[in-house]
Chains A and B, each alone.
Chain A
Amino acid sequence: MTEANITSAKIAARNVDVFYGQKKAINDVSIDIDNGIVTAFIGPSGCGKSTFLRTLNRMNDTIAGARVDGQILLDGEDIYAPSMDSVALRARVGMVFQKPNPFPKSIYENIAYGPRIHGLASAKSDMDRIVENALTKAGLWEEVKDRLNDAGTALSGGQQQRLCIARAIAVSPEVILMDEPCSALDPIATARIEELIDELKESFAIVIVTHSMQQAARVSQRTAFFHLGSMVEYGETDQIFTNPRETRTKDYITGRYG
């Protein structure tokens, strides 16, 4: 083990570069992400924050021509090591997307999908419990408990996004990655999701990419600022927003660009 591997962080990235074909999208990013808190990635469009987020559960593998250099450690284990199975990894590191993407199935089946694939429930009653539990944690249970067989796509946008969060929770991941989870939602639904994120951080390490600096300030404890594929600054959210060390961070936060 190299010195870099000795860390208590849930996820530790070391000198990560990401390429799309010949184009370098992420340049030498190193970051420690801890359990029990919300970490926010902010930065202008095209800065690479979403790309970097997707390296954390190897979703970039699904894009042709994407390549990752450097090391990303989950509990000290290199997730890009040949022995690491990307399918098993994604069961441990869940993801919520920008646009709510419930499956064209019932609400119940949307939640049961993951647990069924991973064999988490041996009986119908187990599955019922998992579904109820996940929906409760996502704050959706009271709203949908009487219509679990309705189509997931029939819910409102905010409910759909909470359904997607519940779906991610249902497979009991260790980390949840959220890629601008509120950008398609109205302010009320957004507030609801933000509350939820705050509750969920007790149980999971949460990484959220957001366009909105206010949102980062509201929900996160640590913030990383990305610009042009590099991580410019990373620190306590309060410090980043009130007293940034880097001029670029300051310029972005004060609205000079972005």
Chain B
Amino acid sequence: MILTGVLLAVFGLGLVGWFAARGRARLLYKGRGSMHSMPGYHGWHLALWIVVPALVAWLVWQAVMPGLVEGTVFASPAAQGLPTDPFQLGAIVAEAHTIAADPSAVAFNPEAQRLVEPFRQAQVKFGLMGAVIVLIVAFAGGAFGFTRIRPDFRARTYVERLVLGVLLAASLLAILTTFGIVASLVFEAGMFFKDVSPIAFLTGTHWSPASTMGDNIDNNFGAVPLFWGTIYIGAIIAMIVAIPLGLMSAIYLTQYATRDVRKWVKPMLEILAGIPTVVYGYFAALTVAPFIRDFAASIGMVNPSTESALAAGLVMGVMIIPFVSSMADDALAAVPRAMSDGSLALGATRSETIKKVLLPAALPGIVAGVMLAISRAIGETMIVVMAAGAAANLSANPFASMTTVTYQIVQMLTGDQEFNSPKTLSAFALGLVLFIVTLILNIVALRVVKRFREAYE
């Protein structure tokens, strides 16, 4: 509480410092060229000298204070006779902490009630101490900064340098997060591969991670049916739907549609991309899947399952249409108009021009778009969770229930988990494979797009 107030005070001081430094610098300003930096920069420089060191001090204090508080509490007479079991002790301390912050809460452990008062006292004591330290740092920083305000002082250079640092830190944070994710994926997958051989995982055709029978668990983690299901649904069925429809709509929109039609149709197509995948999921499960089951029954299949690769794939294809369409749209638009003019001027018709000149010229861009679409489709989760099923079938029958990598990851990591069992860890291995495949698809696709762009610049 006290420390939150201090934080506000530091920012207030920063504001005061900004005005003070600018005012001081303005007094020194004697016309153009008389100072290295304009007064505003001196203001920023001082404000930063007040705020930044104080913030650092504040963060440090936030980190060390809980330890200091607990140390004091344990040393107090009230802490006599507490249980030594770290688990119980932790629970009691946590409870005391809650009650100290919120007096209306009721203690479950009687020991906790005893600790509340020492806890509160220690918190106030160290809070005040921290507040004083932070304010001292703020004033010290401010005083140092203020003495530096001179006509030849390069405040602008320092401020610009700090801005650069902040921007760099922001971009590094995103990159570091990615590295963190990859590292955890690799680490957990490594744990999995300690138990199961990678070769058995990548080439085995039997997937039943729940069964604990048998000595050789390698046999239960053959992920090929999962990979096949993923490819069959995401890269085959979905693309059979998405590529022709997306491409044809892009051709219509770029080549035939009048400006008015384009103005209406394109945003409507983009609405498809804005539908949450979970909505697609229940559309697939509740509307498309029963229809396909009935259709399968009508063509003579015995006991067709409600969940089918076809239902998931079809809906996924529809979901991907705007994606393919907009990539193809870009690719076609990137082909210079001179190219189609040249063809038309030879007496070629519109469709001959599209088929023989525009599409070949735009092909690399279109292929790249399709690759990105595939990488999206195979990473898609909700639709397959709702419509594709859980059975790891290695089958080419589109009416069969099939499962995918993403579906299995969801299965492994929802509900009760044991992080030392290969069953749970297999999710990370699957995630790693999925990550590598989509990464490769993305890199290749972006390369192709880049080369394609360069060809027409």
Contacts and interface: CB of A to CB of B under 8 A. Distances in A.
Interface of A: 57, 59, 62, 64, 87-92, 94-95, 97, 99, 101-105, 113-114, 117-118, 164, 167-168, 171
Contacts, number: 68
B342 A103 contact: yes
Given A64-B259, A99-B338, A101-B339, A94 B345 contact: yes
Contacts of A101: 336, 338-339, 341-342
A210 B342 CA distance: 19
21 contacts: A59-B344, A64-B259, A87-B347, A90-B347, A91-B347, A94-B345, A95-B341, A97-B345, A99-B338, A101-B339, A102-B342, A103-B339, A103-B342, A103-B360, A104-B361, A113-B343, A114-B347, A114-B348, A117-B348, A167-B342, A171-B346
Contact of A168 (B336, B345, B349): B345
Contacts of B356: 113, 117
A91 B341 contact: no
The 10 lowest CB-CB distance pairs between A and B, nearest first, are A91-B347, A95-B345, A101-B338, A114-B346, A90-B347, A101-B342, A104-B361, A117-B348, A87-B349, A103-B357
Contacts of B360: 103-105
Given A90-B347, A103-B357, A117 B341 contact: no
Contacts of B342: 97, 101-103, 164, 167
A109 B265 CA distance: 36
A24 B160 CA distance: 54
A57 B345 contact: yes
B259 A171 contact: no
A59 B341 CA distance: 8
Interface residues of B, number: 21
Given A64-B259, A103-B361, A87 B348 contact: yes
Given A62-B340, A99-B338, A103-B339, 9 more contacts: A62-B344, A64-B258, A94-B345, A101-B336, A101-B341, A104-B339, A104-B360, A104-B455, A118-B347
Interface in B344-382: 344-349, 352, 356-357, 360-361
Nearest to A62: B344
Interface of B: 258-259, 336, 338-349, 352, 356-357, 360-361, 455
B456 to A, nearest CB: 9
Among B338, B340, B361, residue most surrounded by chain A Cβ atoms (within 10 Å): B338
Given A64-B259, A104-B361, A105-B360, A97 B338 contact: yes
Contacts of A89: 347
Nearest to A65: B259
A171 B347 contact: yes
Given A104-B360, A113-B356, A90 B258 contact: no
A167 B347 CA distance: 12
Contacts of A88: 347
A101 to B, nearest CB: 4
A59 B345 contact: yes
Among A59, A92, A104, residue most surrounded by chain B Cβ atoms (within 10 Å): A104
Contacts of A62: 340-341, 344
Nearest to B335: A104
Contacts of A91: 346-347
A59 B338 CA distance: 12
B452 to A, nearest CB: 10
Contacts of B339: 101, 103-104
A167 B343 CA distance: 10
Nearest to A177: B345
A59 B340 CA distance: 11
Contacts of A57: 345
B361 A117 contact: no
A179 to B, nearest CB: 10
A95 B345 CA distance: 6
A171 B345 CA distance: 11
Contacts of B345: 57, 59, 90, 94-95, 97, 168
A58 to B, nearest CB: 9
A105 B363 CA distance: 13
Nearest to A96: B345
Contacts of B341: 59, 62, 95, 97, 101
A168 B360 CA distance: 20
A107 B374 CA distance: 35
B356 to A, nearest CB: 7
Among B342, B344, B346, residue most surrounded by chain A Cβ atoms (within 10 Å): B346
Given A64-B258, A103-B357, A104-B361, A90 B336 contact: no
Contacts of A90: 344-347
A113 B346 contact: yes
A113 B336 CA distance: 18
A117 B357 contact: no
A99 B343 CA distance: 14
A57 B345 CA distance: 8
B213 to A, nearest CB: 60
Contacts of B346: 90-91, 94, 113-114, 117, 167-168, 171
Contacts of B343: 103, 113
A101 B344 CA distance: 12
A187 to B, nearest CB: 23
Among B259, B338, B342, B356, residue most surrounded by chain A Cβ atoms (within 10 Å): B342
Nearest to B363: A104
Contacts of A103: 339, 342-343, 357, 360-361
A170 to B, nearest CB: 8
B256 to A, nearest CB: 11
A153 to B, nearest CB: 8
Contacts of B352: 117
